[in-house]
Amino acid sequence: MTLARSDVSREASWTPPRHATPDARPETLDACATDTAHDAWSTYWNTLPFRAELCRLEAEDFVARLATVVALQPTWRVLDFGCGFGTITMLLARAVGEVCAWDPSPSMRAWAQRNAVDRANVQIVERSSDRRLVGDAEPYDLIVVNSVIQYVSARERRLWLCRWRDLLAPGGRIVLSDLVSPRHHVWDDAVSLCRFYAQHGRLTDALRQRLRDLGLYSRARRMCRLSSVGREELRRDAAAAGLAMQLLATNLTYRTHRTAALLSAD
| Amino acid 154: pLDDT | 92
Collapsed DSSP state (helix, strand, coil) of residue 200? coil
DSSP state of 9: G
Query: CA–CA separation, 133 vs 101, rounded Å?
Result: 10
Confidence of residue 157 (pLDDT cuts 50, 70, 90): very high
In this prediction, residues 249-254 reach a mean pLDDT of 96
The per-residue pLDDT for range 192-226, each reduced to its tens digit, is 888 998 998 988 888 887 777 777 777 777 777 78
d(CA 153, CA 218): 19
Would the pLDDT of 255 be above 50? Answer: yes
Q: What average pLDDT does range 64-76 have in this prediction? A: 97
Q: What is the DSSP letter of 138?
A: P
pTM: 0.84
CA distances for 135 relative to 22, 74, 169, 253, angstroms: 16, 22, 10, 29
Does the pLDDT of residue 42 top 50, yes or no? yes
Sheet holding 168-179, edge to edge: 122-125, 98-102, 77-81, 140-146, 168-179, 259-265, 243-247
Predicted confidence at residue 22, as pLDDT, reads: 32
The average confidence (pLDDT) of the chain is: 83
Cα diameter, the chain = 52
- Tell me the per-residue pLDDT of 3-15, one tens digit each, with 9 for 90 and over: 333 333 333 333 3
Range with lowest mean pLDDT among 7-21, 47-61, 72-86, 129-143? 7-21
Is the predicted pLDDT of residue 49 greater than 70, yes or no? yes
Domains and CATH numbers, the chain: 50-199+228-265 (3.40.50.150)
pLDDT score recorded for residue 38: 59
